[in-house]
Amino acid sequence: MRKRWIGVAVAGGLALSFWSGILPQGRGDDAPQGDYLVLALSWTPSWCAATGAARGDARCAAGAGAGWLVHGLWPQHAGGGWPEFCDTDHDAPDDALIGSMRDIMGSDGLARHQWRKHGTCWGGDAAGYFARTRAAFDALSFPDSLRAQGADRQMTPEALLAEFRTANPVLGPEMAVVTCRDGHAQEIRLCLSSDLSPRPCDARLQARACRASRVTLPAKP
């Protein structure tokens, strides 16, 4: 069944929107330090080809079956760029919270790094940040055509994005980009408003989209 984008209520009393649409003039420790969010989704076999296999990462082993995973949920400035490694009074996530993200992020180390670099800038605590990350991921549908089971696929970046949009028709023009590296489709990056509904990406982010004429979506090992 196709999933629907919705504003989500998160356990623990997290409000439907952690941004009020306009940044406060006086920015306190809990104020978000960006204007919208980017959900970065990595195709694991491409990461394995570029980096992971050489490290001997378990996600790259034969039969591991890792496909689309969350790279991160990143506060983004509307004019381009992003805040990172922000000062916060919130505690670092504990081992249980980090471990709970392993199924969609792939490793504890990545989840910890994403909190330090990006989560500290989102304006809330670690539990809220990771709940928001999971909600954004769970709202997506991934078509079988983009799961690359059994054989590599060759396509244009535009065709890849078109297939993804067909499975998630709420994604309009300029609301997502595909990135690539060494001829491989690397990531799909979605631009989201505070309630996790898709919105247009800023011009600088769109300029980082893959410009290759064709890319490979490597098959799962």
Q: Could you tell me the residue ranges of all domains in the chain? A: 36-217
Q: What pTM was computed for the model?
A: 0.86
Residue 215: the pLDDT is: 98
pLDDT classification of 156: cutoffs 50, 70, 90: very high
* Segment 66-108, tens digit of pLDDT: 999 999 999 999 999 999 999 999 999 999 999 999 999 999 9
In whole angstroms, give the CA distance from residue 218 to residue 221.
Answer: 9
Q: Which CATH superfamily is domain 36-217 in?
A: Ribonuclease T2-like (3.90.730.10)
C-alpha atoms less than 13 angstroms from C-alpha of 131 in its C-beta half-sphere: 18
Contact status, residue 182 vs residue 51, Cβ threshold 8 Å: no
